[in-house]
């Protein structure tokens, strides 16, 4: 008794021994598209049954459960990782800095990431020093007197000016 399930090929043939039918299943998986199947799991004996139909049913049940538990794809995991990133919380050091006057120095895990400026190229006005936290990934802005709000630490998305989006 052989059948296909998902990407697997299952041999659920029972072992007939002296009137007892031992349920057992072998699970194969195709090594490549159109390629040979390779054995990936052998159930061992799953118990003995009075008829081969019962033994086959038990072997099928076992095999399908195993396939369900072992058919997760790497792509299934990606959304979970992405949502972890979006809920990432600022670390305590970052949280404490937000709202403080810009005269307070950056905490030790902040990496300098340039400055933001507004105005024409010949006369740019610096509005903030930008910092990226190496611990929590937050962007912090150490605003100048021309920043919004002035002379204050703020947290937020990286303020890349993109006129196309405006
Ligand atoms: Zn941080």
Residues 6+ apart with CB under 8 A from 2: 9, 10, 11, 12, 13
CA distance 102 to 92: 18
Structure tokens that stand for 62 in this block? 């076992």
Q: Which residues pair with 115 in a beta bridge?
A: 129
The pLDDT assigned to 165 comes to 38
| Domains in the chain: boundaries | 2-71, 86-165
145 Cα: distance to centroid of ligand 1 (angstroms): 24
- The helix/strand/coil state of 37 is strand
Quote the mean pLDDT of the chain.
Answer: 85
105 Cα: distance to centroid of ligand 1 (angstroms): 14
Cα-Cα end-to-end distance for the chain? 65
* Fold of the 2-71 domain: Double Stranded RNA Binding Domain (3.30.160)
88 Cα: distance to centroid of ligand 1 (angstroms): 10
pLDDT tens-digit series, residues 87-132? 568 999 999 999 999 999 999 999 999 999 999 888 899 999 999 9
133 Cα: distance to centroid of ligand 1 (angstroms): 5
**Given pLDDT bands bounded at 50, 70 and 90, which one contains residue 82?**
low
């Amino acid at each position: 008794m052989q059948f296909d399930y998902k990407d697997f090929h299952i041999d659920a043939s029972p072992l007939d021994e002296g009137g007892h039918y031992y349920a057992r299943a072998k699970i194969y998986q195709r090594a490549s598209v159109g390629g040979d199947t390779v054995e990936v799991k052998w159930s061992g004996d799953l118990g003995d049954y009075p008829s081969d139909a019962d033994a086959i049913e038990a072997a099928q049940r076992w095999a399908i459960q195993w396939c369900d538990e072992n058919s997760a794809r790497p792509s299934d995991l990606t959304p979970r990782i992405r949502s972890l990133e979006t809920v990432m919380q600022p670390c305590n050091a970052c949280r404490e800095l937000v709202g403080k006057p810009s005269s307070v120095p950056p905490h030790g895990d902040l990496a300098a990431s340039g400055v933001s400026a507004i105005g024409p190229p010949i006369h740019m006005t610096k509005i903030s020093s930008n910092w990226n936290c190496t611990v929590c990934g937050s962007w912090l802005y150490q605003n100048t007197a021309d920043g919004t709000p002035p002379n204050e630490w703020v947290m937020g998305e990286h303020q890349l000016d993109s006129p196309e989006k405006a």
